[in-house]
A and B are shown apart, each in its own frame.
Chain A
């Protein structure tokens, strides 16, 4: 498959080059800080997949983020064997995917779509937050691990492969490599046979059924993939901070990824990635400066972005770049013009 020469792809290459070189340029704190931002990118990418590609509007990615984070914590703290932590990671991701599949099955085969998926997933995440919040007592134990209620679980072990503990640069590159793999997969997926069917479902779900596609099955499959990505995000977050609370299921956790992907450009994975990193960096800088207007500024930026540039700020910039530099005028969403077909 030939990679098309356009603004987005050039920017993507530049971004990844920058990420790979980053540890050479900065101190240890900044590297771990970027590793934390990159962990949150997976959450945005899960929405790029299910919402951007397939049109499934979900406020529930936080559900898989949190469940897998808690699972990893309970699994690794109970086993006590640090070499089993990779198994915790793999199982956590699988569990997220399976739960997403089951949830998707009930929703999509039941004919639930569009705004109702958003409502149901939002309710689910808030229910989980409330439930986990009241697990403070000692009866709320799984094995030897107290769920901790609102205080959450801390001192969760880092990932250890063999005798090698992943912290600092090693953790950073681990996350970055997986991010690169996921990114390439998502770019490839968009033009694969399944990916094309997924986009068709987004564009006109009923029509796609009438073209012979088992739409609920494909939706569940994509939703499961999105769940697995959100789970990956949750576990990476736990590996970075060694801590998880019910606020992982909270309203902010549920809605911010949706807003970020909308503001950046939901149909474009590079836009989602770039906007997420920029947002986290910008909001952190505001917080560090102690500006009392930090939250207001952020809110305004997001509102303005979505109101005036509904296709997404970064995605629109890519499009502008294409028009200027590549004389690209086709507005086709699959952007196949000029490229060799598969």
Chain B
């Protein structure tokens, strides 16, 4: 792949918490336009990598490149301004505010004042929660909260969207809608990097995958390649 096509790159990224090795010597390249999944059992280090991409954690060693730019030492909010956005594993929404207010907080920072209202409406519509706009977020279902958070993550008009378990806790119908949404976003040109456990979901969605095990990159490739990799099957499949 050409150099310009690589949107996100992690080079020799490692993270140690005191003596605990969370991840070690991670090298990942994500092409622009990709729908990429980070796979691996619990504790493999996936969320840690997400946090390092967003700047919540600083890597103990290695560098993070976004759009060929070294962002390793950049503050989180500056990375958001460059075009990386995230939906975290635990809901990062403002529970005691309404859905509308939540979206407004996200949107007002990246949209001209006159267009805020319409942009909020557009995103709420996209995320299928327009009818809930005056509800308190704490009253929403887990799935609806996650959609809201994805919507908020879209407000900054990201080039790269990180989704940590986008369908967690959702029923089959919601899961399908989520998958459709993610595909739609990818078709609109957003590069998507997501973490998930559900192999069916991953198969439906991902184009490329990276498999992590015990903090190290174990394997990478398309979904078909991973599926037929015996070692991956051994360490990973069999978990729900």
A interface residue numbers (CB < 8 A to B): 193, 196-197, 199-200, 203-204, 206-215, 330-334, 336-337, 341
B156 engages A212 (CB within 8 Å): yes
Q: Measured between C-beta atoms, what is the minimum distance from A182 to chain B in Å?
A: 25
Answer yes or no: B54 CB below 8 A from chain A CBs.
Answer: yes
Q: Is B96 an interface residue (CB 8 A)?
A: yes
Interface residues of B (CB under 8 A from A): 54, 56, 75-78, 80-81, 85-86, 88, 92-98, 100-101, 104-106, 108-110, 113, 117, 134, 136, 152, 155-156
Instruction: Report yes or no: B109 in contact with A213, Cβ–Cβ below 8 A.
Output: yes
Contact between chains at A332 and B56 (CB < 8 Å): no
Contact call B92/A212, Cβ cutoff below 8 A = no
Shortest CB-to-CB span from A258 to chain B, Å, is 22
Q: Is the CB of B76 within 8 A of A332?
A: no
With a CB–CB cut-off of 8 A, which chain A residues contact B113? Answer: 193
A330 and B155 form a contact (CB under 8 A): no
Chain B residues, Cβ within 8 Å of A211: 77, 80, 105-106, 109, 152, 155-156
Question: Closest CB-CB distance, B40 to chain A, in whole Å?
Answer: 23
Q: How far is the CB of B155 from chain A (nearest CB, A)?
A: 7
Q: How far is the CA of A209 from the CA of B81 in the complex (A)?
A: 11
Of A196, A212, A330, most buried by chain B (CB within 10 Å of CB) is A212
Residue of B nearest to A204 (CB): B94
Q: With A212-B80, A337-B134, A341-B117 as given contacts, are A207 and B94 in contact (CB-CB < 8 Å)?
A: yes
Once the chains are docked, how many angstroms separate the CA of A199 from the CA of B97? 10
- Chain B residues with CB under 8 A of A341: 117
Give the distance to chain A from B208, nearest Cβ to Cβ, in Å: 25
Given contacts A211-B80, A211-B156, A212-B80, contact A206 B92 (CB under 8 A): yes
- The residue in chain B whose Cβ has the minimal distance to the Cβ of A332 is B98
In the complex, chain A residues whose CB is within 8 Å of the CB of B80: 210-212
In the complex, the answer to whether B76 meets A209 with C-beta atoms within 8 Å is: yes
- Min CB distance A55 to B, Å, is 12
Tell which of B54, B77, B97 touches A213, judged by Cβ atoms closer than 8 Å: B77
Q: Which of B95, B108, B156 contacts A193 (CB 8 A)?
A: B108
CB-CB under 8 A for A203 and B94, given A210-B54, A211-B155, A212-B81: yes
**One of A203, A207, A214, A332 near B136 (C-beta < 8 A):** A332
Q: A197-B109, A331-B136 are in contact. Are A214 and B77 (CB under 8 A)?
A: yes
Please give the distance in Å from B130's CB to the nearest CB on chain A.
Answer: 15
Alpha-carbon distance A41/B106, docked complex (angstroms): 34
**Inside 8 A of A200's CB, which chain B residues have their CB?**
94, 105
Q: For residue B105, which residues in chain A have a CB less than 8 angstroms away from its CB?
A: 196-197, 200, 208, 211
Contacts of B76 in A (CB 8 A): 209-210
Q: Give Cα A40–Cα B113 distance, bound, in whole angstroms.
A: 37
Measured between alpha carbons, how far is A213 from B110 in the docked complex, in Å?
10
Q: Which of A197, A210, A330, A333 has a CB less than 8 Å from the CB of B134?
A: A330
Residues of B contacting A332 with CB < 8 Å?
A: 96-98, 101, 136
Q: Which residue of B lies closest to A337 (CB)?
A: B134
Distance between Cα atoms of A204 and B138 in the complex (Å): 14
Question: What separation, in Å, do the CA atoms of A208 and B86 have in the docked complex?
Answer: 12
Given A197-B109, A204-B94, residue A212 in contact with residue B77 (CB < 8 A): yes
B152 contacts A206, CB within 8 Å? no
Q: Name which residue of chain B comes closest to A214, CB basis.
A: B77
Measured in the bound complex, the distance between the Cα atoms of B75 and A196 in whole Å is 21
B residues within 8 A CB of A193?
A: 108, 113
B186 → A minimal CB distance (Å): 21
A-B contact pairs, 20 of them (CB 8 A): A196-B104, A197-B109, A200-B105, A204-B93, A206-B92, A207-B94, A208-B105, A209-B77, A210-B54, A210-B56, A210-B77, A210-B88, A214-B75, A214-B78, A330-B98, A330-B134, A332-B96, A332-B98, A334-B101, A337-B134
